[in-house]
Amino acid sequence: MKQLDFREIDGGKPFYMLVGFIGLFIIAALGAAFYMEHNGHHVTGMSNQVIWGTPHVFAIFLIVAASGALNVASISSVFSKTAYKPLARLSGLLAITLLVGGLVVLVLDLGRPDRLIVAMTYYNFKSIFAWNIMLYTGFMGIVAVYLWMMMERKMNSYTKPAGLAAFVWRLILTTGTGSIFGFLVAREAYNSAPLAPMFIIMSFSFGLAIFILVLMGMYKWSNRPLGDAILYRLKNLLGVFIAAVLYFVTVYHLTNLYITETHGVERFILLDGGIYTKLFWIVQVGLGGLLPLALLYLPATGKSRGWIGISSLLVIIGGLAQIYVLLIGGQAYPLEMFPGKEVSSSFFDGVVASYTPSLPEFVLGIGGVAIALAATIVGTRVLRFLPVSLADSQVDPHYKAEESAA
């Protein structure tokens, strides 16, 4: 493998137009956040029944994907797969920018975002949220150091330990994110230990799907060569992750189906939950799981860039649906306080809560994605994150061997 040449992407008009275009979404998101905070959350679809809405779906998705985006770098540094080395810097950058995007959405959806400083200065150490605040900020710091080790020639020898630290930290981080739900005893849909490992495997899948799309997009946009070898490696890995997510989803539901107490909520999600049932079977399992799995491995589509891109996009859409079903479906299903009783009250006890995402919520969520993308693009403009070429001859360790064999 040749010495890699990393370069900033070109500036100029196209760059500013692209960043400006994405910036419009960020401005819209800030406007939406201001509108919601100014009027109060009653202008959203959220209520005292569905407490966390669409912004949280996006925020959790981005945070989960952030830790997963780091995987490519981990495979390179921790597991010493040299083929992934050219991609490691972008992987680290995406890990930070996706996390920032998710956190911005999370903070702007707080009832009192102006009290962010309170969240930084008052800690209840038993709160998983408080742990997560430290896990998130620590993650950004560790990945930043890791990037420095990778990008500064003099520090290259420390890449492996830094990569290992980042890898371990990200596993803890996603465990923390999963435990936000896994440790909630109150609600039937949560309160399940498999949620933490499931979130880890979800992060592998979502993060890699985003990584593949960003990689393909950036190389096409900047007219840099991207070889098949690296792309096929990534898409095969994505297939494995998709299958693993489906496995965990199966185990999670089997656990709940075995336990009589959780039959109600399982019936709701899997059978008669209306939108949540549809989202689960059609979008999460079908479009976001089985279809991309088939597309990535079928000979007719698995070698096509277009289909690899579409498969990655499907994984992202399926992932958003998965979090929507878990988060909002889990809240829509009523709390079971009185087993064996039909419950009714003026406070929506015993009934399935209704929730319709409002436009500002959606715009805020999309804004988080826009922040992550804009930060990634600006990052690759100002620092050397991307190799000039990812052509097979540059990056594939087996390239020459294959040629001579042929």
Partner 1 sequence: MSDQSNFDQYRRRFLGGSAATVAGMALAPGVLLHEIGHAKPADQAVSDEVRWGMLIDSNKCAEGCNDCVKACNDEHGLTGFDRPATDAQWIRKVTLKDKETGYTQTLPLLCQHCEKPPCVDVCPTGASFKREDGIVLVDKHICIGCRYCMMACPYKARSFIHETLQDQKPYSPRGKGTVESCTFCVHRVDNDETPACVEACTAENHNAMVFGDMNDPSSAISQQLKQYNSRQIRADLQLNTGVRYRGI
Q: How far is the CB of 106 from partner 1 (least distance, A)?
A: 8
Among 240, 282, 298, 343, binds partner 1 (CB under 8 A): 343
Residue 346 C-beta: closest distance to partner 1, Å:
6
Site string for partner 1, 317-336 (x = CB under 8 A): --------------x---x-
Cβ-based nearer residue to partner 1, 123 or 258:
123
Quote the least distance from Cβ 14 to partner 1, whole Å: 40
Type of residue at 332: A
Give the residue, chosen from 16, 21, 247, 338, that forms a contact with partner 1 under the rule CB under 8 A: 338
Backbone angles phi, psi at 222, to 5 degrees: -95, 10
| Cα end-to-end distance, the chain, whole Å | 19
Tokens of 117: 């400083």
Considering the complex, what minimum distance in angstroms separates the CB of residue 376 from partner 1?
Answer: 27
To partner 1, the closest distance from the beta carbon of 35 in angstroms equals: 13
CB nearer partner 1, residue 32 or residue 229: 32
**CA pair distance 306, 248, nearest whole angstrom:** 28
Q: Choose which of 2, 13, 112, 154 interacts with partner 1 (CB under 8 A).
A: 112
One of 42, 153, 260, 405 touching partner 1 (CB under 8 A): 42
User: How many amino acids of this chain bind partner 1 (CB under 8 A)?
Assistant: 48
Q: How far apart are the C-alpha atoms of 346 and 145, rounded to whole Å?
A: 54
CA distance 309 to 206: 13
CA atoms within 13 A on the CB side of 235: 31
Amino acid at 1: M
Interface with partner 1 includes 347 (CB under 8 A)?
yes
Q: Give me the least distance between CB of 254 and partner 1, in Å please.
A: 22
Candidate segments 47-55, 90-98, 244-252, 373-381, binder of partner 1 by CB under 8 A:
47-55
List Cα–Cα distances, 267 to 281, 344, 355, in angstroms: 13, 20, 19
The single residue listed with the structure tokens 């976001």 is 288
d(CA 76, CA 89): 10
C-beta of 20 vs 111, nearer to partner 1: 111
Residue closer to partner 1 by CB (options 47, 301) is 47
Phi-psi category of residue 191: left, alpha or beta, with phi > 0 → left and psi -120 to 50 → alpha:
left
Residues 147-186 interacting with partner 1 (rule: CB under 8 A): 180, 184-186
Tell whether residue 359 is a contact of partner 1 (CB under 8 A).
no
| Whole-angstrom distance, CA of residue 341 vs CA of residue 333 | 15
Of 172 and 294, nearer to partner 1 (C-beta) is 172
Which sign, positive or negative, has the C-alpha torsion 74, 312, 308, 214? negative
In the complex, the smallest distance separating the C-beta of residue 200 from partner 1, rounded to whole angstroms, is 21
CB of 30 to partner 1, least distance (A): 17
Query: Taking CB under 8 A as the rule, does residue 47 contact partner 1?
Result: yes
Residue of 24, 193, 240, 337 that binds partner 1 (CB under 8 A): 337
Token pair 């959806």 is at which residue?
109
Tell which one of 37, 232, 270, 294 touches partner 1 (CB under 8 A).
37
Query: What does the chain come to in residues?
Result: 406
DSSP string covering 177-240: HHHHHHT--S-TTS--TTHHHHHHHHHHHHHHHHHHHHHHHHHHHTT--B-HHHHHHHHHHHHH
Question: Should residue 130 be labelled a site residue for partner 1 when binding is judged by CB under 8 A?
Answer: yes
In terms of DSSP H, where are the helices of 54-158? Answer: 54-69, 71-77, 88-108, 116-121, 128-151
Q: By CB under 8 A, is residue 110 in contact with partner 1?
A: yes
What distance in Å separates the CA atoms of residue 102 and residue 320, rounded to the nearest whole number? 13
The verdict on 18 binding partner 1 (CB under 8 A) reads no
In the complex, which residues of this chain contact partner 1 (CB under 8 A)?
Answer: 37, 39-42, 46-49, 51-52, 110-113, 115-116, 118-119, 122-124, 126-130, 133, 180, 184-187, 331, 335, 337-338, 340-349, 354
